[in-house]
Chains A and B, each alone.
Chain A
Amino acid sequence: MLDILYTTLNKVPLITAFVTVGIIMWAAYALGKMTNNRIHGSAIAILIGLILAYIGGTITGEKKGISDITLFSGFALMGGGMLRDFAIVSTAFGVKLEELKKAGLAGAVALVVSVVIATVLGAATAYAFGYTSAVDMATIGGGTVTFIVGPVTGAALGASSEVIALSVAAGVVKSIAVMILTPFLAKVAGLDNPAAAAVYGGLMGTTSGVSAGLAATDPKLVPYGALTATFYTGFGCLVVPSVGYMALLALFGN
């Protein structure tokens, strides 16, 4: 009997994921209610997701959280890039063009300022830990931009796999920190209107972090933040291995 149940769940991984996530959402919103909605249900749901990812990663020793456990492999499809981006696009439905126009300039400024700051911070941290070559600093700086920019930069510049792994880790720490911290810091940081959300998206840049962080804060703000964030990784991939690397090379030599 148990075998048949297991086979049933394994035959339809995506459906199993729908059901599991449905149960997680229900539990999370019930918990949220118990806190008088001071902690939003979606924030709890995302946190449960991260805990499951930790458990999955510990059990399997692989890289994709709970989805590396065969029974939950549907999570990788449900939470993968394709459906995520599709759902992000759908949130744009109902967005006001006027709001976007107002947020445009500030969002673009945030994008540029933040890519520079993240690269500098990452490179400086790398330097402090003894990674003093321009290639290593640019790669770890790229990882601090997002966990995609790091490996793209490292591959372009020929960094070692150890440094690339570090750059990915820096990006993943950033992305998860954004997911967890956003609902708590939103008020203090003034993140309560579309313009601020667009700036926030440009500053944080990690699409996964921004989309989860805003979902847990105020779902109405998601499209504004996601819109600027989707330009961040592309922009980072463009400037960090080129301008960023050349600047570091000029300053520190190879």
Chain B
Amino acid sequence: MLIYGVALMGGCMLVGTFIGRTIGWLVGLNSDVGGVGIAMLLLVVVSRYLMDREKFSKLAQDGIKFWAAMYIPIVVAMAASQNVVAAFNAGALAFIAGLGSVAAGFLLIRPIAALSPKSAEPSLAE
């Protein structure tokens, strides 16, 4: 059933958020430290495990794929709910600090990506 996939993914998110909040609590923060990232790792591992054992029906997978396909529309809705006016009106300080860190980020992609094993490259041809 479709809901199995959605429930599996939801379960991963609940566990991930719980772990993220626990980490946050351990280091004295009332926030989620990497919960979504942990949920993603869990989903990768659990779905691989189920698929290797052929326990993951096509329909259940479609339940996850539906949300993956909704991702861009959700991001569009998110973009439409940002405080764009404030960003425009904040003045030079916010622009210099914000844009400066973005520029630095783009400059660093190549040098830092070079740290990962070269064999990562050919796979992008897939």
Contacts and interface: CB of A to CB of B under 8 A. Distances in A.
Contacts of A199: 108-109, 112-113, 116
Nearest to B63: A90
B41 interface: yes
B117 to A, nearest CB: 5
Contacts of A158: none
B41 A103 contact: no
B87 A169 contact: yes
Interface stretch (A2-10, A108-116, A246-254): A108-116
Contact of A49 (B10, B66, B80, B124): B80
A203 B74 contact: no
B120 A194 contact: yes
Contacts of B99: 173-174, 177
B117 A189 contact: no
A185 B106 CA distance: 8
Given A90-B68, A190-B109, A227 B84 contact: no
Contact of A93 (B61, B73, B96): B61
B32 A87 contact: no
Contacts of A169: 86-87, 90-91, 94, 98
A30 interface: no
A152 B31 contact: yes
Contacts of A181: 102, 106
B105 A200 contact: yes
A122 B12 CA distance: 35
A204 B68 contact: no
- Max chain B CB contacts within 10 Å: which of A50, A83, A87, A212? A87
A96 B47 CA distance: 11
Contacts of B44: 92-93, 95, 97, 100
12 contacts: A50-B79, A57-B86, A87-B70, A100-B44, A109-B115, A126-B93, A168-B83, A170-B93, A173-B94, A188-B106, A199-B109, A234-B34
Q: 3 closest A-B pairs (Cβ-Cβ)?
A: A173-B98, A79-B77, A49-B79
Interface of B: 9-10, 12-13, 16, 20, 23-24, 27, 29, 31-37, 39-41, 43-45, 47-48, 61, 64-68, 70-88, 90-102, 104-110, 112-117, 119-121, 123-124
Given A102-B117, A190-B113, A203-B106, 20 more contacts: A45-B73, A53-B81, A56-B80, A58-B85, A65-B81, A79-B74, A79-B76, A80-B81, A86-B13, A93-B9, A109-B115, A117-B108, A173-B90, A193-B120, A193-B124, A195-B121, A199-B113, A219-B72, A228-B37, A234-B24
